[in-house]
Amino acid sequence: MVNGVGAIDSRLLGHLFSSAPMHGVWDDAARLQGMLDFEAALARVQSRLGVIPQTVGEAVSEKAKADLFDLDAIGEKVPLGGNIAIPLVKALTAKVEGAASGYVHWGATSQDVIDTGFMLQARAGIAVLRADLVRLGGACAVLADAHRATPMVGRSFMQHGLPTVFGLKAAGWLDTVGRLIARLDTVAEQSLALQFGGAVGTLASLGADGAAVRDQLAAELGLPVPPTPWFTMRERIVEIGSALGAIAGIMGKIAGDIVLLMQTEVGEVFEPSAPGKGGSSTMPHKRNPVGAATARGAAIQAEARAGALYQIMDQQHERAVGGWQAEWGLVPELFVLTAAAIAPLIAVIEGLEVKAERMRANLEITNGLIFAEAVMMKLAPMIGRDVAHHVLEGASKRAVAEGLHLKAVLTESDEVRAHLDEAEIAAIFDPLGYVGSAEIFIERALEHWRSSRASDEG
């Protein structure tokens, strides 16, 4: 098999668009082991229930270890049957000794093996993503707490809007990461499930024992048992994919914020520096946002795969043609790319250099126009909001036209001075004087984060 085609497995790109822990959850050995875990658990349960001889469970479990199998040999045979389960079951049967070999895969079908193996992998993958998000959220919490009173420009339509504080931006990241963790928890609880239905979902091959085997098999594997087999009802897969797509999307958004704040003209934050990191092949002075760029690149690829999962929900009758098979590539890549979108952001946020002095300097770029709403709201109770808006609109236009600071224009305005003296006007131009409930919002985000993590520990 040729290496280096897909980004997540490329020797050249894999360190960018892969995550070692997540890759270990979804590599070929892990895929094989998930399926073998199903076969071993099935044999043990059926042995206990007396459906098959009691010695079979132990005999199958002893051989159900991925390192005993030749992955290349199995892979070469996959095209003949159209899925991994067929050659794997044959290989497992050949390894189980004696009469026990005749009871391997008893009453099961290929999709039972593949889907349940996938669910075991997804459970492990969700745990990896959750741990990464907890670490990322912890870094965001540190920033939110440290920069409660670090004023900066709040931007609307990419333009200077009003003053805010960097701690609130970080708190917004934190709050969203917390929700993503909660969503993963919900997916783990509601979307993971055993798949075991036999040929068309009736388990007819097990006669009266089908439901009992199914229930105990779910317990053996630690997976929920749904009321019916779900061969072609793939909303479970889409729910998992949707949660990962949302994670990837938010990683792209946070990375995008950092990229914009790192622009030369802005210069309000910088990724942590390291020898050889962020340089240019031709411009020696460059300090590129490589971590954020990598996160965005992985996120875009992950979102594409998450979106594609919606296209495979229309599956035919009891067994699908094409849609199910498409999941085998889409879902593992989605997990790996989502993890790859989180990983660089952890390093970026944990080591983020915040330039508070540049943030404050940028507040003055508009010569005070960023405080126009603050002055308007100060005047509104005295002259009405519409009149105050008209006064500030005119003052702002004059400030721009004549290159004056808004404060100077207002100080000369008879309409304004009739209600505000010079000291009152000057006081309005304190950035921290017009950040509203930012401190409350930050504290609420931090408290929710702390209580959620305390629940984890509990």
Classify strands 159-165 and 151-156 as parallel, antiparallel or unpaired: antiparallel
CB 139 within 8 A of CB 350: yes
The phi and psi torsions of 93 (rounded to 5 degrees) equal -60, -40
CB 118 within 8 A of CB 230: no
pTM: 0.94
Smallest CA-to-CA distance from 38 within 88, 80, 72 is with 88
Which residues are catalytic, by number?
Answer: 280, 319
Q: How far is CA 326 from CA 49, 71, 116, 313, in A?
A: 36, 21, 16, 11
- Give the DSSP per-residue string, 68-130: GS-HHHHHHHHHHHTSSHHHHHHHHHHHS-GGGGGGTTTT--HHHHHHHHHHHHHHHHHHHHH
In 3-state terms, what secondary structure has residue 230?
coil
Residues 6+ apart with CB under 8 A from 120: 34, 37, 38, 221, 223
Per-residue pLDDT 10s for the chain (458 aa) are 456 678 888 888 888 898 999 999 999 999 999 999 999 999 999 999 999 999 999 999 999 999 999 999 999 999 999 999 999 999 999 999 999 999 999 999 999 999 999 999 999 999 999 999 999 999 999 999 999 999 999 999 999 999 999 999 999 999 999 999 999 999 999 999 999 999 999 999 999 999 999 999 999 999 999 999 999 999 999 999 999 999 999 999 999 999 999 999 999 999 998 665 555 555 556 678 999 999 999 999 999 999 999 999 999 999 899 999 999 999 999 999 999 999 999 999 999 999 999 999 999 999 999 999 999 999 999 999 999 999 999 999 999 999 999 999 999 999 999 999 999 999 999 999 999 999 999 999 999 999 999 988 76
The phi and psi torsions of 398 (rounded to 5 degrees) equal -65, -40
What domains sit in the chain, N to C, each tagged with a CATH number?
20-360 (1.20.200.10), 369-428 (1.10.40.30)
For residues 198 and 43, what is the distance between their CA atoms, to the nearest angstrom? 15
In 3-state terms, what secondary structure has residue 160?
strand
Smallest CA-to-CA distance from 176 within 228, 255, 254 is with 254
